Amino acid sequence: VTEYPVFIPCGEEHLAAVISVPDGPPRGVVVITGVPGGPRSHRHQVWSQAAERLVAIGVASVRWDLHGLYDSTGSAPEVDMRTSLVEEALCVARFAQRATGVDTLATAGNCLAAQTGLALTAVLPESVAAVCVLPPVLGEGAVRRGVGHAVRPKSWMGWVRTRPIVRRLTRTAGGIGHHVRAPLMQPLAPALGHAAVLFLYDEKHLASRSRAFPKVRRLVGRASADQQARFDLRVLPVQGLDRFGTVASQEATVDALVEWVDQWLPAGVTPSPAARSR
Amino acid sequence: MREFGVFVPFAGERVAAVLTVPDDGPRGLMVFSPGPFAPRSHRFQVWALAAQRLAEHGIASIRWDYPGLHDSTGSITEIGEDAPVAEAMAVARFAMAATGVDRMVAAGNCYGAHASLALTADLPECVGAFCILPECAQAGPLKSLLRRAGGRKVGAFIRSRPMLARMARPIRRFDVGTRRPVATSLEASLTRASVIFVYDEAHLRTGPTDFTKIEQRLPELPESSQARFELRVLAPMGLDKFRSVDVQRDVLTTLVAWARDRLESPAEERSPMSLTTNRRGTAT
């Protein structure tokens, strides 16, 4: 594996990234996005290991930091989950395509990076696969949102948490009016139009996620049979996926990512127009 | 200012680093070593911002990840007691060759402070170490004996019984030893380089960062060595995780001023073992 640390120009900033390439011509390139809680290598080098494993199947990758975080330049006083950073991801994807000489892409990331990867896949026809680790599916329920607006949220939540009966009641009421978050819902259908999408979860918080999964399946159910065949939601038999806290969760994630990319990326090389002209 | 992402060869592995150079020729170099739980840019980009600020003052810098962590290659299952001095040395030599300077200082926090101190002790070109919350203390003979006898279970047993825990408290206070690698590196560094220990009030006298044992050893050193040491207490708390913008700003300001001072002036002109604080601290 050959790795190149680079700074990718994007607007007035420079995004820090590492491009990993196999010895021969790559089959495609996976754009791996970092998150505020983990740099581009992510906790316990999970994305670095993924890059190494991808290289072993002939796939290049670029892992990068959001602007204002880690080695990237700029400043980010806060990161808003309501918007996916597609412009930055596009800068990285285009740079990686030019650098590796291939058009075909896939995306990967967790949490905010999962929705960013999905949004990138939706706007890039060259993207054939997206691996979304723990994408935050549900927005605040209508009841909780209404109450939260009416009273100061923190004091209200504190009061509720200290009273078990009220907590149990609000848990039920808080589930009413839950909806799939727009940053996830909007790109999912366009992404499935041309790419395969994998949602990965672990066994933690399965009870609360039991509300989310049917909503996602209902959303995917509206798509054509072809598109439905390109979607998978997997619950990995591990715990601690949110922080890659266990070796099992790290290995299971990398295995699933490599398998999904290997399955959906074409076996042959599809050189980019720039590479063809060279 | 320009930044270069690089991989520094080290013992069959590649150490990931970012080299920052000012637009004009640099007049010195700073090597940033992070704590093991933060990447080379550190929390809230503190080292990345420091690199930028140093470049504005004509000082180059390199920040790096330990082998087996973050973007560096290799694998690591646990962090040992010994500071990674060979790795730090490889990074420092690479950066000096790349920037063409032969005068440098080292900076780091926690484990990175130990690496910086060890680097300063071993590398003649290094004229100073900026150590944030170095762990100067370690378990004393009694605690070590208990650990050897029953692992961590004995400690857990005592902690879980309030009466026993209360009785053990005064013993714990006295059963503290000096962390030998830190003391050895400090003494070796002070023979020719400046060393500053930077603390907050919350960590100065408690836990593994307790400065007391080192403080007791300092008067035994030659006066010239004592004059090269400085203790600075920056804030009431929050230095361990660069928790607030205030703390980050204080660290950056202190670090840049200290680096400029060290890389500009070859001679030391300071009263023996100066202790300073910029807030209402205990040290004066």
Instruction: Tell me the sheet residues that pair with B17.
Output: B6, B64
Q: Alpha carbon of B70 to those of A42, A63, B37, B66, B76: distances in Å?
A: 7, 12, 9, 8, 11
Of B5, B40, B69, which has the smallest distance from its Cβ to A6's Cβ?
Answer: B5
A196-201 and B104-109 strand pairing: unpaired
Question: How many CB atoms within 10 Å of residue A204?
Answer: 17
Provide, as residue numbers in chain B, all residues whose Cβ is less than 8 Å from the Cβ of A5: 5-7, 16, 18, 71
Residue contact B71–A68, C-beta within 8 A: no
Nearest-Cα distance to chain A for B225, in Å, is: 37
Of B77, B5, B3, nearest to B36 (Cα)?
Answer: B77
Of B3, B45, B69, which has the smallest distance from its Cβ to A70's Cβ?
Answer: B45
Note the pLDDT tens digit of each residue in B171-226.
777 777 888 889 999 999 999 999 999 999 999 998 889 999 899 999 999 999 99
Of A92, A84, A117, nearest to A200 (Cα)?
Answer: A117
Question: How many CB atoms within 10 Å of residue A38?
Answer: 22
Q: Where are the alpha helices (DSSP H) in chain A?
A: 46-56, 86-100, 112-123, 142-150, 153-161, 164-174, 182-194, 206-221, 225-229, 247-264, 273-277
| A68 CB within 8 Å of a chain B CB | yes
**For residue B225, with 0-12 CB atoms within 10 Å meaning exposed, 13-18 middle and 19 or more buried, which class applies?**
buried
Residues in chain A: 278
What integer is the mean pLDDT of B100-110?
96
Helix, strand, coil % over all residues of chain B, rounded to 5: 45, 25, 35
Note the pLDDT tens digit of each residue in B126-158.
999 999 999 999 877 777 777 777 777 777 888
Rounded to an integer, what distance in angstroms lies between the CA atom of residue A101 and that of residue A10? 20
E strands, chain B, in order: 2-10, 13-21, 29-33, 60-64, 104-109, 126-132, 137-139, 176-178, 194-200, 229-235, 274-277
pTM assigned to the model: 0.86
Torsion of CA A147, A152, A155, A161, to 10 degrees: 20
| A53 CB within 8 Å of a chain B CB | no
Residue contact A71–B68, C-beta within 8 A: no
Question: How many CB atoms within 10 Å of residue B165?
Answer: 14
Residues A130 and A108 sit within 8 Å (Cβ to Cβ): yes
Indicate the range of A31-35, A164-168, A241-245 predicted with least confidence: A164-168
Tokens coding B108: 């780091």
Residue contact A14–B3, C-beta within 8 A: yes
| A131 CB within 8 Å of a chain B CB | no
Residues B47 and B113 sit within 8 Å (Cβ to Cβ): no
Rounded to an integer, what distance in angstroms lies between the CA atom of residue A17 and that of residue B143? 45
Provide, as residue numbers in chain B, all residues whose Cβ is less than 8 Å from the Cβ of A39: 39, 41, 70-71
Of B128, B261, B276, B271, nearest to B193 (Cα)?
Answer: B128
pLDDT classification of B36: cutoffs 50, 70, 90 = confident
Residue contact B16–A5, C-beta within 8 A: yes
Q: What angle do CA B32, B38, B43 make, to 5 degrees?
A: 85
Of B7, B68, B73, which has the smallest distance from its Cβ to A5's Cβ?
Answer: B7
Rounded to an integer, what distance in angstroms lies between the CA atom of residue B164 and that of residue A78? 45
Half-sphere exposure of B212 (CA within 13 A, CB side): 12
Of B7, B14, B39, which has the smallest distance from its Cβ to A70's Cβ?
Answer: B39
Of A5, A7, A39, which has the smallest distance from its Cβ to B39's Cβ?
Answer: A39
Of B40, B41, B71, which has the smallest distance from its Cβ to A18's Cβ?
Answer: B71
Rounded to an integer, what distance in angstroms lies between the CA atom of residue B262 and that of residue B255? 10
* Interface subset of A 4-23, CB within 8 angstroms of B: 4-7, 14, 16, 18
Predicted pLDDT at A152: 60
Nearest-Cα distance to chain B for A172, in Å, is: 36
Residues B101 and B19 sit within 8 Å (Cβ to Cβ): no
Percent of chain B with pLDDT over 90: 67
Provide, as residue numbers in chain B, all residues whose Cβ is less than 8 Å from the Cβ of A41: 39, 70-71
Residues A36 and A66 sit within 8 Å (Cβ to Cβ): yes
Rounded to an integer, what distance in angstroms lies between the CA atom of residue A138 and that of residue A218? 13
Mutation target to probe the B interface, by most B beta carbons within 10 A, among A1, A45, A52 is A45
Residue contact A71–B40, C-beta within 8 A: yes
Residue contact B5–A40, C-beta within 8 A: no
Flag whether the ipTM exceeds 0.85. no
Is the confidence at residue A268, as pLDDT, over 60?
A: yes
Residues in chain B: 284
Note the pLDDT tens digit of each residue in A63-113.
999 999 999 999 988 888 888 899 999 999 999 999 999 999 999 999 999
Note the pLDDT tens digit of each residue in B263-275.
986 544 444 445 5
